[in-house]
Structure 1
Amino acid sequence: MLIGELAERTGTSRRLLRYYEEQGLLSSSRSPNGYRDYAESCVDRVLQVRGLLDAGLPTRIIKQILPCMDTPRATRISGATDETIATLERERDRMTDRIRCLERNRDAIADYLDAVRKAQDAARPQAVKPVEAAVLV
């Protein structure tokens, strides 16, 4: 598939796809006219790279672990070096700290929203029920 189709199917800009290729995260072949030609498996690869980047991993680490990941849903165990394992442990711990921070911020925002809503509810005038008139017979 051409770069435009890959961009559309993954929601990734062409420029970013070329960057992934420069960084060794993605590969393509060249057609006779010089256009990049991507395999179908590149869709999963791009989505996997984007997920890892969103998780906070730098491209240099993603490049190290991609060979161990066949698809976003399967992991292949290979001869990871002690350095790679240590790097991944540091990244995992950094992500865990980031998740905790995000959870604290989410909870603080939720508490603030609850307080604001309660204050707004308290400030609203209460609906007055109409008094039924007594009918004199």
Structure 2
Amino acid sequence: MSKPPNLKLLSFVLQAFVMLFVITLFFLFVGIASIFIIHIFIVSRRNRRHDMSMEFDELDCFDCGVTGISPHDLKKLPSSNYGSVLKSVETRDCAVCLEGFQEEEIFRLLPGCKHAFHINCIDFWLKKSSSCPICRRGVGSLN
């Protein structure tokens, strides 16, 4: 005659499978919720950056109240070859783009503070602001 199955053991195994299923579902939902929260965080940061970049893009206009230097005054600023006045420049890097100066490049030495920049970098800066990006000293009138 065969022995009847142990009901306590069968009940324990069934409870273990149910608990395993419940724990698996719990961690699955926690994982999905975590991914969702991370996604929302990334999207909100990207939107904040996009909003800030739009504010900076609005500064690209010349007639929107930004006090930069006129193109006429910009042409009056001195420019020269970097190799020709290498000793008078205290830094070897442009503070706008953070790249080093090369001897063949043209750069501007701002009057007054004598800070040097690549010509394209500082011209772009001075169209928006009439002060030095390093010391904030005004370039002033260029008569």
Q: Which TM-score band applies after superposition, normalised by the shorter structure?
A: 0.3 to 0.5
Q: TM (normalized to structure 2)?
A: 0.31
TM-score normalised to the size of structure 1? 0.32
Higher RCO (CA < 8 A, seq sep 6+): 2
| Structure with greater helix share of residues | 1
